[in-house]
Amino acid sequence: MAKVLMKGNEAVGKAAIEAGCRFFFGYPITPQSEVPEYLSEELPKVGGTFVQAESELAAINMVYGAAAAGARVLTSSSSPGLALKQEGIGYITNADLPAVVINMMRGGPGLGTIQPGQADYHMCVKGGSNGDYHNIVLAPASVQEAVDMVMDAFDLADFYRTPVIILSDGLIGQMMEPVEFNYSPKKDLPSKDAWALKGKGKGEKHMIVNLNMDAEDCENHNIALQKKYDEIEANEQDWEEYCMDDAEYAFVSYGTSARIVKSSVDTLRAAGYKVGLIRPKTLYPFPVKAFKRENIKKYLDVEMSMGQMADDVKLACNDVNKVAFYGRTGGIILTPEEVVEFGKSVMGGDK
Amino acid sequence: MSVVYEKSKGLTDVKLHYCPGCAHGIVHKLLAECLEEMSETENAIACVPVGCAVMANKYFNFDAIQCAHGRAPATATGIKRVDPSKIVITYQGDGDLASIGTCEIVHAAARGEKITTIFINNGIYGMTGGQMAPTTLPGMKATTAKHGRDVKVQGNPIRVSEMLATLDGPVYIERVSVTTPGQVAQAKKAIMKALKVQKEGLGFGFVEVVSSCPTNWGLTAVKAMEYVKEKMIPYYPLGVFKDLTGEGK
Amino acid sequence: MAKGKVTIDENYCKGCELCVSVCPKKVLKLSETRINEAGYNPAEVVNDDCIACTSCARMCPDSAITVEKID
């Protein structure tokens, strides 16, 4: 398929359709409103259904229903809207149902700003609803990668029967890049016939349950969830390495921040610094395998937040003192120059 | 000898956890009987609430999903939109539907979702232990309104059927009760009609059942039914509030 | 007047008395001697006056009652 120039928010919508998603339930919020706008027009053309819900709460609970009925289903929002969706995300997770949720992050907390941010890491990666759980979280750094990750997300969701969150931001949502759409399932996907609500027909009735009256049942369900997470952590870690072969220092950054850091790495390399970049593509599971390195003197965590992923970097390298942090937040986009200055301050001034 | 009444096959053999005399059991079997008589138990999906009926999925002998508090109409929307050939029912109490889920029921009704909602109104939070509900009568005692609901302080009850009847979306809205065998028969007719409205693709059907809560009202089951007749029904009058089927009542 | 027979699945009965309250022929009352497995005094048939009207069964929240008509 030839490349086409598309805005990020529209490209993720098209990616969902290409991946076979025919149901979208959402609510407008800047800077992701082009996702519902695009899908309201395009889904009906392929026999799909678009519903503008009355709230994010309603939207995510519509997703719960559609997922329970066995459909590939998508919702999208931005930070305060994702906060509202946490209730339903917890229910969908607890019920072992697949769904894809896109978060085009903006600055927070509260209403925050409408400019791009990365301060929802904790909410999305650590489980923003109640209880012990995780969702698979994918962090694209380009429109093409957002497209590819949306397609992968549907497969991962169906394979593991869990919500998958695309954690992107308003910058990637709003910018235009050339993209192509090549969907083919990467996994052997299980049938949904054993559990989906389709009416019992001549068989046994299906129940999607969320309440355990017996604490022991609830604990056992949590143990089963944890086994799923163990499997996900073993099999799904993904990251990109840039200039890491001889690196003595490593930036760690994801999504939009990582794009900026990459150019800062080039500048610092040109100035003689042995520095590279580890870019997590999966935030859950966090790519701890990328941090088993004896030769790295310091990890330089850079985010558009006050330092949330930094906690996971400290755990992954197993050394709190090895991690330095720099970030801008509240909708401020980092400049390559300030990242270079941060790098120099950690690595020992001008060469 | 011929059997003239037996337990509906739309129900499982699981014993209900409800308190003695709780009308949930009556309405459960009415729904089950209607689906059985329509030959739709194989095609039905129930969206059960948070509240006393949270485990109704165990009692219904058809597919079911436990929904988040108040969100059953949204979850039902998702299910119905995926496969419009299914009969999708929400079964909700007054805290669920008329308090935390007011937004969801109003908008599902306004969109004219082709689902059927059964709304159990007994004016109290049963499962959590008798707290004031949005439908608690003025002066009625609750554990969070120990001296009786004072409308100057706690506001006024909501008459949901009348409110939804102002919308253009719903096709059929009726309020019934189950205090006598005659009322039970009328309630069944209403539920049947609401299900048929869905099956025929006409739109949203809503049946409010003015019900009892013997335990939290501190009454016997029989006295609780008398309370419904004497106190609840005068405030929540029975009848058809909307009917676009052309059948009249 | 039709004749009927009421059968109560005793272990489903919670002794709420709704059936007793609606029976036009006073066929039912709660047992004063027996206790079912859940600890309730179940309803029991006390005479042969049943007319198979099914009022008791329709009111029973626990679907514990079957009514037969004697042809």
Q: Give the gyration radius of chain A's Cα atoms.
A: 20
C3-70: CATH number: 3.30.70.20
How much of chain B exceeds pLDDT 90, in percent?
98
Asked whether residue B16 is domain-assigned, the answer is no
Cβ distance B207 to B165 under 8 Å? no
Note the pLDDT of residue A351: 65
Residue C1's pLDDT band (boundaries 50, 70, 90)?
confident
User: Does A73 contact B78 at a Cβ distance shorter than 8 Å?
Assistant: yes
Best of A55, A72, A197 to mutate (most B CBs within 10 Å, chain B): A197
CA distances from A290 to A1, A243, A296 (A): 33, 13, 11
Cβ pair B3:C17 closer than 8 A: no
Please name the helix (run of DSSP H) or strand (run of DSSP E) that holds residue B195, with its range, or none: helix B181-199
Cβ neighbours of B17 (radius 10 Å): 14
Least CB–CB distance from C16: residue in B6, B178, B221? B221
Judged by CB atoms closer than 8 Å, whether chains meet at C65 and B5 is answered as yes
pLDDT for A350: 63
pLDDT digits (tens, 9 = 90+) for B72-106: 999 999 999 999 999 999 999 999 999 999 999 99
**List of chain A residues whose C-beta atoms are within 8 Å of the C-beta of residue B81:** 23, 49, 51, 62, 66
pLDDT in tens, A169-214: 999 999 999 999 999 998 899 999 999 999 999 999 999 999 999 9
pLDDT mean by block of 10 residues, chain A; 351 residues: 94 98 98 98 98 98 98 98 98 98 97 97 97 98 98 98 98 98 93 98 97 96 98 98 98 98 98 98 98 95 98 97 97 97 90 65
pLDDT on residue A2:
87
Q: Which CATH superfamily is domain A4-235 in?
A: Thiamin diphosphate (ThDP)-binding fold, Pyr/PP domains (3.40.50.970)
* pLDDT reported for residue A186: 85
Give the pLDDT mean for B53-77. 98
Asked if the structure places residue B215 within a domain, the reply is yes
- The residues of B whose Cβ lies within 8 A of any Cβ of A are 41-45, 47, 50, 54-55, 57-58, 60-68, 71, 74-83, 86-87, 103-104, 106-107, 111
Q: What pLDDT digit, counting tens, does each position of A212-249 carry?
A: 999 999 999 999 999 999 999 999 999 999 999 999 99
- Backbone phi, then psi, for A277, in 5-degree steps? -140, 130
- What is the per-residue pLDDT for A140? 98
Confirm if A113 and A66 have CB atoms less than 8 A apart: no
H or E element that contains B3:
strand B2-5
| Average pLDDT of span B198-225 | 98
Q: How far apart are alpha carbons C68 and C52 in whole angstroms? A: 6
Nearest CA in chain A to B58: A207
On whether residue B11 sits in a domain, the answer given is no
According to the model, what pLDDT value does residue B247 have? 81
Residues of B in contact with A88 (CB under 8 A): 68, 71
User: Is the residue at B98 inside a domain?
Assistant: yes
Q: What is the pLDDT of residue A141?
A: 98
Mean pLDDT of B135-159: 97
What is the number of residues in chain C?
71
Name the residue range of residue B117's domain: 24-243
| pLDDT at B188 exceeding the cut of 60 | yes
pLDDT at C34: 95
Structural class in CATH, domain A239-347:
alpha beta
CA-to-CA distance for A118 and B210, rounded, in angstroms?
Answer: 50
For residues A207 and A220, what is the distance between their CA atoms, to the nearest angstrom? 18
Domain boundaries, chain A: 4-235, 239-347
Q: What is the CATH number of the domain that holds B201?
A: 3.40.50.970
* A74: amino acid identity, one letter: L
CB contact under 8 A, B63 and A62: no
Extents of the domains making up chain C: 3-70
Please answer yes or no on whether A61 and B55 come within 8 Å at the CB atom: no
Side-chain half-sphere exposure of B77, counting CA atoms within 13 A: 31
Provide ipTM, 2 decimals. 0.97
Decide if B105 is inside a domain: yes
Measured distance between the N- and C-terminal CA atoms of chain B, rounded to whole angstroms: 35
The number of domains in chain B is 1
B5, B22, B59, B120: best to mutate for the C interface, most C CBs within 10 A? B5
Please, are residues B179 and B225 in contact by the beta-carbon 8 Å criterion? yes
Max Cα distance, chain A (Å): 76
Q: Judge whether B124 and B213 are in contact, CB under 8 Å.
A: yes
A130 at B interface, C-beta within 8 A: no
pLDDT at B175 over 80: yes
Tokens linked to A175: 């910018």
Region B155-170: what's the mean pLDDT? 98
